[in-house]
Structure 1
Amino acid sequence: MLKIHIITVFPDSFKSYINSSILKNAQKKWIFEPIFYDLGDFSIKKTRRVDDRPYGWFPWAILSIEPLYKAIKSIEEKHPGIRKIYLSPKWKTLKQHKLEKLAKNKKDIILICGHYEWIDSRILEMFEIEEISIWDYILTSWELAAMVLIDWIVRLLPWVINEKSLEEESFSKKLWRKKEYPWYTRPEEFMWFKVPKELLSWDPKIIEKWKNNFNK
């Protein structure tokens, strides 16, 4: 079973998505388990505050180093050498082939969700933390990015989704890491829009040729 340890200021924001559809089924099959750590529980302040003003007279708040350190350390003590990931728009964008390696590894992960503007960068120096970007844009909530990464990884785990479905989808190895072809279902004709005649032929060679035309 893959266990993802999620450090976040807002653990409740995950509940609806994590407990529905594919991810819910993966948990029922004991393939995947999310474990949440409320960063407020590791605060050194009675108010449970986990952020502070950064040095340099910048107008925004960042996550403080003390609760982050305590949260990561509490997990690492039970799981020495566990892989640690911080979602960072500053870093290289994660690609499908790297996700496949990440899922194939099947080793537990600590997923650190930032919030506000950033985190105290010293935490990245203290621990061997891998920075990952889901794309070149900024979100208000790192939790959204974390859910994207969790979905990416879990759907690639064995017995979560039919393997044949994964073999031939956008950015898969079989499609040369390119986008897949269009899909159609019944009815054969809707208003003046028709299903391509190649798909109606039921000839595997014709259909395969049609599919390959989208990967040139």
Structure 2
Amino acid sequence: MRFDIVTLFPDLFDGYLTQGLLGKAIERNLTQIHRHNLRDFAPDTTHRPVDDKPFGGGPGMLIQVEPTVKCVEAVQAQSTTPARTILLTPQGKRFNQPMAEDFAVSERLILLCGRYEGFDQRVTDILEPEEVSVGDFVLNGGEVAAMLIIDAVVRLIPGVLGDEQSNIDDSFSRGNRLLEFPQYTRPREFRGHSVPDVLLSGDHGAIAKWREEQTQLRTNERRSDLL
């Protein structure tokens, strides 16, 4: 699977792309991540501005339509496989696990990272991207949101996780749309807090029943909207 990130700050991804499971997935060629500097498509090659004041007045600056459209068109042309274009915006559809699962079966994703007051409306009108939000809050730019989406999607690619069952049983996942049950490891007791006896019993049926009960209880207490 290939990700193409359109951004004003490609260097923000340097450390992120080399760490943990994502770094290993890139090394093993399970995923490819390419960064594209929007300034490379600026009409003024001297200062390479890609933003300007909004017509009608108002605070802040907008990312211009010309460099954005030209950049996305150039990225699309790099492969014969069409990419799904995702524009990251607080006004988009809320990102969730089912959406991550949907993205994970795509061959290519282009992630458009906004800055300032966002993109000129004509970017949406011309490119017709899928608009996606990572939550009801505002970030300084779309780069962190792009990292979040990449992280959620890459772990669903076959071969990335050591145990494929992991992403089925996780909270919100296709095998469990509720919250995951609590888990424990060594030591058995710490400062008066002990591992539940059922988890030490070796009775797989009882353990499965306990986990199902805990999933229901935890979801009811913390996210009853999921029930």
Aligned to 2:222: none
* Structure 1: distance between partners of 2:196 and 2:134: 34
Aligned residues: 213
* Structure 1: distance between partners of 2:11 and 2:78: 24
Partner letter of residue 99 of structure 1?
A
Report deviation, 1:172: 1.7
The SS at the match of 1:97 is helix
Structure 2 residue runs of 5 or longer lacking an equivalent are 217-227
Aligned to 1:94: 95
1:202 and 2:205 aligned: no
The SS at the match of 1:215 is helix
Aligned to 1:168: 169
After superposition, the C-alpha distances for 1:76-104 in whole angstroms (9 at most, x for unaligned) are: 23336321111111122122122112102
Structure 1 residue runs of 5 or longer lacking an equivalent are none
- Percent of aligned positions with the same letter in both sequences? 37
* Structure 2: distance between partners of 1:90 and 1:165: 32
* Structure 2: distance between partners of 1:167 and 1:205: 19
* Structure 2: distance between partners of 1:50 and 1:136: 27
* Structure 2: distance between partners of 1:82 and 1:18: 21
Aligned to 1:62: 62
The SS at the match of 2:137 is coil
Aligned to 2:157: 157
* Structure 1: distance between partners of 2:146 and 2:79: 21
TM-score (norm 1): 0.94
Report deviation, 1:58: 0.7
Partner letter of residue 159 of structure 2?
W
Aligned to 1:137: 137
Runs of 4+ residues deviating >4 angstroms: none
The SS at the match of 1:24 is helix
**6-15 or 193-202: which moved more?**
193-202
Partner letter of residue 10 of structure 2?
P
Backbone CA RMSD of aligned residues: 1.2
After superposition, the C-alpha distances for 1:139-165 in whole angstroms (9 at most, x for unaligned) are: 112100000011111111010012011
After superposition, the C-alpha distances for 1:41-82 in whole angstroms (9 at most, x for unaligned) are: 111122111111111211111111111011011112333632
Partner letter of residue 69 of structure 2?
Y
* Structure 1: distance between partners of 2:5 and 2:133: 16
**7-16 or 81-90: which moved more?**
81-90
**94-103 or 18-27: which moved more?**
94-103
- Equivalent runs, 1:87-126 vs 2, <5 Å: 87-105=88-106, 107-126=107-126
* Structure 1: distance between partners of 2:2 and 2:36: 13
* Structure 2: distance between partners of 1:11 and 1:142: 11
TM-score (norm 2): 0.90
Aligned to 2:75: 75
Aligned to 2:224: none
